[in-house]
Amino acid sequence: MSFVLASIAIICSTEAGNLVAAGSPQFSAMFAFGDSLTDPGNNNYLNSLAKANYVPYGVDFNEGPSGRFCNGKTGVDYLGELIEIPVLPAYTSPYAAGKNILRGVNYASAAGGILEETGQNLGERFSLSEQVENFESTLNQLRSQMKDEELSIYLSKALVVMTLGSNDYINNYLQPSFYTTSYIYTPKDYADLLINRYTRQILALHSFGLRKFFLGGIGPLGCIPNQLATNLPPTGKCVDDTNDVVGMFNKRLESLVDELNNKYNGSVFAYGNTFGAFIDILNNAKTYGFSVTDRGCCGIGRNRGQITCLPFSVPCNTRNQYIFWDAFHPTQAANQILARRAYSGSPSDCYPVNIQQMALM
């Protein structure tokens, strides 16, 4: 941990404007692992019900409906802009080859989770372990393009972004009609199970030579339109029980970051407090330019959250004033705020360092 603390001291004494040369990538590459919050279109190539490759998804994205579960850019897209790395290709895309992978690859898969069975009710998806296996495939390609020493330096200076766990609740623990986990595990035991499985995959990536990890926590799932719509009787308020079980996972993840930083000198792990940042946006919506906090811009039923955005649905016109795009996902306006807080936020947003600080380590 002394390495991290010493680095923080150096960074905090540096003028922000001198942190990184303008226009130069702040990491050698970015490799993203996640679910539908960051899937750039990997599920387009899978036999899955969890797809967003149709309008009105992508209505504000320059490529149209690319497979992103949003009206525009995801948090990873915005983070790439902040660290001067071009939009990452989806792993399953035919473009994810040759020189196109040198700045990184996005492996995120809608419905995927930390547990293998998570999301199976929606068809094919890449679980976290499969996403790590897909990274190994990319690594083999990189080995053919770099010498061993060059590759080692490249990997040590790359940013790993991991944002998983939401589906392990939404498409597993909170669906007792499909899954038995809520009968087998208490919320605390389930959080421990997830963290144990998560740790294995984080350390697998670490063993390949990756050294800089941003681990995003789960947002307040009890506040998404789907939970507001399906919680009976409807109260119009966030579902505390859901937020409480998610909070257990987040606390364990933050503790894991401390454990990993203490154990692996020369590496840096950061916890992204997505939950706290999102609650702040919800509680101070007007300050951030939002006027609608409790329903999706596109969807059907109560809170536009009972049925998610269907093909050729007509979305709201004032999308930048909505926090939620559909029953489960934020708008690009909300994604941009979350990315900025991960990049340059205080320790309450990103602990013990933010991504901008991590770039100098």
pLDDT tens digits, 42-59: 999 999 999 999 999 999
Q: Delineate the domains of the chain, giving CATH numbers in brackets.
A: 2-358 (3.40.50.1110)
pLDDT value of position 23:
60
Q: Supply the pTM of this predicted model.
A: 0.93
Average of per-residue pLDDT across 108-136: 98
Point out the residues that are catalytic.
36, 326, 329
pLDDT value of position 236:
85
Distance CA 290, CA 293 (A): 7
pLDDT category, 198, cuts 50, 70, 90? very high
Contact 243, 223 (CB under 8 A): yes
pLDDT at 5 over 70: no
Amino acid at 344: S
Take residue 192 and report the two structure tokens written for it.
């421990």
Distance CA 321, CA 115 (A): 35
Q: How many residues does this entry show for the chain?
A: 361
pLDDT value of position 358:
98
- What is the rounded average pLDDT for all residues in the chain? 93
pLDDT value of position 204:
98
pLDDT value of position 176:
95
pLDDT tens digits, 261-296: 999 999 999 999 999 999 999 999 999 999 999 999
354 Cβ neighbours under 8 A, 6+ residues apart = 270, 342, 343, 344, 345, 346
Distance CA 274, CA 217 (A): 5
